[in-house]
Amino acid sequence: MIIETLTSPVILFFILGFFAAMIRSDLSIPEPFAKAMSIYLMAAIGLKGGVEVASTGFTSELASAAIAGVTLGFTIPILAFFLLRSIGKLGAIDSGAVAAHYGSVSVVTFVTAVELLTNQGMQPDGFMVGVMALMETPAIITGLLLARAYAKRPGVAEDAHAAKESGSGLLHEVLTNGSVILLMGAFAIGMVAGEAGFEPIKPLFAIGFNGVLCLFLLDMGLLAARRLMQSKKITFHLATLAIFMPILNGTIGVAVGTLIGLEPGSAAVLGVLCASASYIAVPAAMRLAMPQADPGIYLSMSLGITFPFNIIFGISLFAAIANFLG
């Protein structure tokens, strides 16, 4: 499965971008085009998920997956927080910010996983799009609460005050985040339209999907490598945690998915969601809620290390675990 993944055009484009950045090539994707591609991908995955749910209806599996996803979204940051404090030697504010990233989800990792798993005969259920959207917010709340609770201890009272003052608009920031609005909106449109309504626009959102994903991952490879090269604050322990935490979290996610009765494809995707680290929605929320947290740490770990690991190795690993447990 790893060989199939590494020879997929989607992954090869990511590797190409990563390699180009590492050798300091001037290859780049214009920012407006990159943003347009991300809008397209989120709209496409939301629509297709909504159409599938419209075909199958609401099931006990959907409810179980949603409850499991939200629960994991609240609890995974707690584990990450204490690992970052004890092994990574980070302060409360930075630990809370990084933990929020690792408890939330990466939309691009999810989209890539769905495509790769589908091509390998492990198509996940369409309702996993909704589970992904539900998992984006809980980790932000948990990370913020942990940071504030531990920053109130003696010696870091100033950080606690800063975190409290900067968090006033967090709820609005999270609920109106563009990716959440687009994903859930497209999901709802797909449910209302159903298969018949989706048919006229299917050529745009289905046939062109893989090509756009390849170009988008080329850009993500460039960004990941450049972020990693620019970072000067990633220690050996933090780099190790950026690989260990997704393996641990992803394994937990696959195990939970299997226990609640999900098919291997959906259990693997739940594992991918637990293993992924947000680098779009959560950084935006952290800039508002905890501006004193260091972006050089949380972005370098999530985008520079965890994202490439999950794309190249993690998806195949969690698929193999799901097949084994299933």
For residue 23, is it within any domain?
A: no
Contact predicate 147/164, CB 8 Å: no
Task: Write the CATH number for 213.
Answer: 1.20.1530.20
For residue 22, is it within any domain?
A: no
For residue 196, is it within any domain?
A: yes
For residue 255, is it within any domain?
A: yes
Q: What is the pLDDT of residue 251?
A: 97
User: For 51-104, what is each residue's pLDDT tens digit?
Assistant: 877 877 777 888 999 999 999 999 999 999 999 999 999 999 999 999 999 998
Annotate 265-313 with DSSP letters as a single string.
Answer: HHHHHHHHHHH---SSHHHHHHHHH-TTS-HHHHHIIIIIIIHHHIIII
When pLDDT is cut at 50, 70 and 90, the band that residue 175 belongs to is: low
Domain total of the chain:
1
Lowest-confidence pick of 24-38, 138-152, 256-270: 138-152
Annotate 14-75 with DSSP letters as a single string.
Answer: HHHHHHHHHTT------HHHHHHHHHHHHHHHHHHHHHHHHHH---HHHHHHHHHHHHHHHH
When pLDDT is cut at 50, 70 and 90, the band that residue 261 belongs to is: very high
User: For 265-301, what is each residue's pLDDT tens digit?
Assistant: 999 999 999 999 987 777 767 776 777 888 888 888 9
Q: Which burial class, exposed, middle or buried, applies to 230 when counting CB atoms under 10 A from its CB (0-12, 13-18, 19+)?
A: exposed
Mean pLDDT in the chain? Answer: 85
- Domain with 198, as residue range(s), is 2-17+29-325
φ, ψ (nearest 5 deg) of residue 125: -70, 145
For residue 24, is it within any domain?
A: no
Hey, what long-range contacts does 84-89 have (CB within 8 A, 24 or more apart)? 84/238, 84/241, 85/150, 87/237, 87/240, 87/241, 88/235, 88/237, 88/238, 88/241, 89/235, 89/237
For residue 145, is it within any domain?
A: yes
Considering all CA atoms of the chain, what is the largest pairwise distance in Å, rounded to the nearest integer? 62
Number of other CB atoms surrounding residue 267 within 10 Å: 30
For residue 281, is it within any domain?
A: yes
For residue 260, is it within any domain?
A: yes
d(CA 109, CA 179): 14
